[in-house]
Chain A
Amino acid sequence: QLQLQESGPGLVRPSETLSLTCTVSGDSISTTSYYWGWVRQPPGTGLEWIGSIFYSGSPFYNPSLKSRVTISVDTSKNQFSLKVRSVTAADTTVYYCARHRNAGWFDTWGQGTLVTVSS
């Protein structure tokens, strides 16, 4: 059974870089036809797609965040990662990793991790 688990610091200082990792179990991240993505959700509001990556390492990003975001994949560890640079309080949200099937829908989600940006 496919499972995804986010990990990383729950508190990041303003202007620093937020770094999260998603560990995939139950399937190889190198499986064809699947992308792997990040979605975030500010408390009490809706979902925002951050970006996705194919196992070969071809990422694509939400244009609204592209200048500050990097997504990478480590097939040897069956993980993919998210970095958000120059964070502000507006980046305080729950971050989810998910399998992005055919870049068309998210069929399996991690439980989510809350990241707070505060000094």
Chain B
Amino acid sequence: QSVLTQPPSVSAAPGQRVTISCSGSSSNIGNNYVSWYQQLPGTAPELLIYENNKRPSGIPDRFSGSKSGTSGTLGITGLQTGDEADYYCGTWDSSLSAYVFGAGTKVTVL
């Protein structure tokens, strides 16, 4: 069981907005940057967000990240069928001395 808690699934219609939460503690999110990864079916994860809210080159601005206290949030606007994937949050945990990932959230476009 991960120290980072994500909802198992979220869904919305095309064009709508979804948010995915990642809840942690002071030993991880509370004192370290959050990153987010998208994993399309059958492919390797891809970095979407780093340092809480920064997007790598090539990632559309439909994807956004934020952090407040011990929780991070990934937002996806203008939802597209191509956004159907598993999304993972990740951060360093100072108590565990390990990089930890959330269990993942499956996004479904209705």
Contacts and interface: CB of A to CB of B under 8 A. Distances in A.
A62 interface: yes
Nearest to A97: B44
B101 A109 contact: no
The size class of the interface chain B forms with chain A is 20 to 34
Q: Which of the listed residues A52, A104, A112 has the most CB atoms from chain B within 10 Å of its own CB? A: A104
Interface in B1-46: 2, 32-33, 35, 37, 43-46
B88 A46 contact: yes
Contact of B101 (A48, A101, A103, A110): A48
B101 A62 contact: no
Interface string B48-72: 0011000010000000000000000
Given A109-B45, A109-B46, A46 B102 contact: yes
Interface string B61-105: 000000000000000000000000000101010001111111110
Interface of B: 2, 32-33, 35, 37, 43-47, 50-51, 56, 88, 90, 92, 96-104
Interface of A: 37, 39, 46-49, 52, 60, 62-64, 96, 100-101, 103-112
